[in-house]
Chain A
């Protein structure tokens, strides 16, 4: 009987110690990302039919039947889905903000206004050399602002492309890691081993993947996982121990596209999708800026040729090149500004062609076009920001729900620590009593 008590108590000691260790592990990992709170599942050890004679109790104590990871697969999938959505929106807003701020701060709009203002001042005295120089310098500043805005937009797009390339590399690295991990998980059949740690790693990798792209995951019976990008066919990135490679292609216009297993694929979530959309917006913004620059150049060049310059010769084109990046001031001297109407003599005070230039700029509405252009870019940011904020809230709610149920609460762990300490002490007491009982028998 005493021997039985001792063995029961020692199983209790073992169970309490295992529970204390798990509690310590939980406390140590209270701040670890991706750590899922563990708890010990205990079950009674009994043998009903063993030595089953009347009056004899066949109880064998307690055993640790398993270590539970307190996580819901549904909540994890929710977190991945909402993270993909929020990251896509966030990346897109970042990219659009960069584009909008570049166009906004390039000073193109104010340089157009200044140029118009300089032309307007020139009507006061069209042959005045300093007013002419002022107008020509305003034109030069305007051309340079267009150049700066265009190169700013180009470098923003290039930067986003570099980030997308490194995102693809990250995703491929994660896929390779997951394939390796899948092999280890499927080979891990010993229930006593630390499979919870492997599963934590698996889920962490999946979470990182969802930041890069929206993924569909299927958990197989052996706890390995199959990952698809999006949910279209032929889009398997990781299948158990095999990882496929996602590749990125840059088109001639600067847009990027992805392909997997030989087929084109378009992620709809994650930073890769956000980058792809932001780059496409950047390419559109570049061509929009080119349109404004071309409108300005066409208007001014036409107006120049319908007047005569200070020497009485027919005016030449004010700008050369094409598009915002190529816009260059072609006039080499303020004298070449064709201020006078056709047929005027050299050094004429006639300013009819300046007035014609001002009217042509007004009717071509170049300044209005630039204003609309900036408005378009900035309203894209504010529209997407509203959506981003909504998706962010949804994602952070999902994350809080997951981390509330799967994270470590230090108060609970402190209580558990006390509880298992008392259980450990109690089992020790049982051994002490069993030994006293045994001594009592010996002393009879």
Chain B
């Protein structure tokens, strides 16, 4: 018969109860934190996946902010283009009146003055600022998009040839604006013209036509130019609308991938509460049984019978 020493009995009981206790504590930590991984070393592969997923989450936050910024920028561009269109239609209707021979030179000069006032609004709309205080139509340049000559009132483009591009995530980007020349410069009857200078010239000519016929002719030829310009502004608005659509599409993609990531994170590192709680109560039952049987067996001593 092998001898069983008292100290070996106590050591065995203590080590088995300690290991049970450790297991219940691990389960408890998993339940209270909601994560199965407390340290990378618990499950290195899952922890590495979790790190990659969380890093993607954090970068996606920046992408989302960028998408919002681009959306703000493009919406403002769209609004400004609508206003330019409104001004343009006012100028067109005035020019139509000026082209009519029923108006005399004085009335035509008055129309010219009105158009001159609209010219100023066009210039200030072309120089509109975005929410960051940069020129909306100046591309990546600094300062105003159009410089206005102090004496003549003539304008010249000051910005860069391309608008800024913003990143919306890996491989996705959007151009967040349009430059002035993209919609203010247009082709009319095969000739390149600029809306601002066209309107400025029209206003000046109507106020000081020389002859009545010259005034009517100027108004008539300006009508063709204004039609082409309106077309150019509308076309640009369509482009801006398409870009806004593109941002909505990418935002949807981002939302979907974020949801997929969240599901993946829950799969890889999340605690299955039902299973873990069931496991915990099973462990606790075993631990309680071990403790109470230990107390009973430890009380069995021959010495307590000697008397």
Q: Which residues of B contact A418 (CB under 8 A)?
A: 306
**Shortest Cβ distance from A402 into chain B, in angstroms?**
9
A358 at the interface (CB under 8 A from B): yes
The 7 closest A-B pairs by CB, nearest first: A407-B5, A378-B40, A414-B302, A379-B44, A120-B62, A381-B41, A349-B140
Q: How far is the CA of A110 from the CA of B44 in the complex (A)?
A: 17
**Size of chain B's interface in residues, with CB distance under 8 A?**
48
Q: Which chain B residue lies CB-closest to A406?
A: B5
Do the beta carbons of B142 and A37 come within 8 Å of each other? no
Q: Which residues of B contact A377 (CB under 8 A)?
A: 40
Contact of A374 with B4 at beta-carbon distance under 8 Å, contacts A123-B166, A382-B41, A414-B302 already known? no
> A328-352 toward B: CB 8 Å interface, digit per residue (1/0)?
0000000000000000111111110
Q: Which chain A residue lies CB-closest to B143?
A: A347
B152 at the interface (CB under 8 A from A): no
Q: How far is the CA of A398 from the CA of B291 in the complex (A)?
A: 25
Q: Which positions 16-32 of chain A face chain B at CB distance < 8 Å?
A: 30-31
Do the beta carbons of A349 and B134 come within 8 Å of each other? yes
Cβ-neighbour of B303 out of A344, A406, A414 (below 8 A) = A414
Contact of A408 with B6 at beta-carbon distance under 8 Å, contacts A109-B51, A349-B164, A414-B303 already known? yes
Q: How far is the CA of A125 from the CA of B11 in the complex (A)?
A: 67
Q: Which positions 118-151 of chain B face chain A at CB distance < 8 Å?
A: 132, 134, 139-142
Contact of A409 with B5 at beta-carbon distance under 8 Å, contacts A124-B65, A378-B39 already known? yes
Q: Which residues of A contact B54 (CB under 8 A)?
A: 110, 113
Q: How far is the CA of A414 from the CA of B306 in the complex (A)?
A: 8
B48 at the interface (CB under 8 A from A): yes
Do the beta carbons of B39 and A116 come within 8 Å of each other? no
The residue among B54, B61, B132, B164 with the most chain A CB atoms within 10 A of its own CB is B164
Do the beta carbons of B301 and A409 come within 8 Å of each other? no
Contact of A117 with B58 at beta-carbon distance under 8 Å, contacts A378-B47, A400-B12 already known? yes
Do the beta carbons of A405 and B2 come within 8 Å of each other? yes
Contact of A30 with B6 at beta-carbon distance under 8 Å, contacts A120-B63, A414-B303, A415-B302 already known? yes
Binding site for B on A (CB under 8 A): 30-31, 37, 70, 97, 100-101, 104, 109-110, 112-114, 116-118, 120-121, 123-128, 344-351, 355, 358, 362, 367-368, 371-372, 374-375, 377-379, 381-382, 385, 396, 399-400, 403-412, 414-415, 417-418
**Shortest Cβ distance from B235 into chain A, in angstroms?**
25
Do the beta carbons of A374 and B302 come within 8 Å of each other? no
Q: Which chain A residue lies CB-closest to B42?
A: A382
Do the beta carbons of B7 and A407 come within 8 Å of each other? yes
Cβ-neighbour of A124 out of B2, B52, B142, B166 (below 8 A) = B166
Q: Which chain B residue lies CB-closest to A114?
A: B58
Binding site for A on B (CB under 8 A): 2-8, 11-12, 15, 39-45, 47-48, 51-52, 54-55, 58-59, 61-63, 65-66, 69-70, 132, 134, 139-142, 160, 164-167, 170, 301-303, 306
Q: Which residues of B contact A415 (CB under 8 A)?
A: 302
Q: How far is the CA of A378 from the CA of B164 in the complex (A)?
A: 43
Cβ-neighbour of B8 out of A350, A381, A404 (below 8 A) = A404
Cβ-neighbour of A30 out of B7, B55, B134 (below 8 A) = B7
Do the beta carbons of B48 and A405 come within 8 Å of each other? no
Q: Which residues of B contact A382 (CB under 8 A)?
A: 41-44
**Shortest Cβ distance from A193 into chain B, in angstroms?**
26
A117-B58, A347-B142, A409-B6 given. 15 additional CB < 8 A pairs?
A30-B7, A37-B5, A104-B40, A113-B54, A120-B167, A121-B66, A124-B70, A348-B142, A351-B140, A375-B40, A378-B39, A378-B44, A382-B41, A404-B8, A407-B6
Q: How far is the CA of A101 from the CA of B42 in the complex (A)?
A: 11
The residue among B39, B44, B170 with the most chain A CB atoms within 10 A of its own CB is B44
Do the beta carbons of A375 and B45 come within 8 Å of each other? yes
Q: Which residues of B contact A118 (CB under 8 A)?
A: 62
13 CB-based A-B contacts, threshold 8 Å: A31-B6, A128-B132, A349-B139, A355-B167, A371-B55, A375-B44, A381-B41, A399-B11, A407-B8, A409-B4, A410-B6, A411-B301, A418-B306
Do the beta carbons of A125 and B69 come within 8 Å of each other? yes
Do the beta carbons of A374 and B48 come within 8 Å of each other? yes
Q: Which chain B residue lies CB-closest to A411?
A: B302
**Shortest Cβ distance from A359 into chain B, in angstroms?**
10
Contact of A410 with B41 at beta-carbon distance under 8 Å, contacts A31-B7, A348-B142, A404-B3 already known? no
Q: How far is the CA of A77 from the CA of B142 in the complex (A)?
A: 83
Q: How far is the CA of A347 from the CA of B132 in the complex (A)?
A: 13
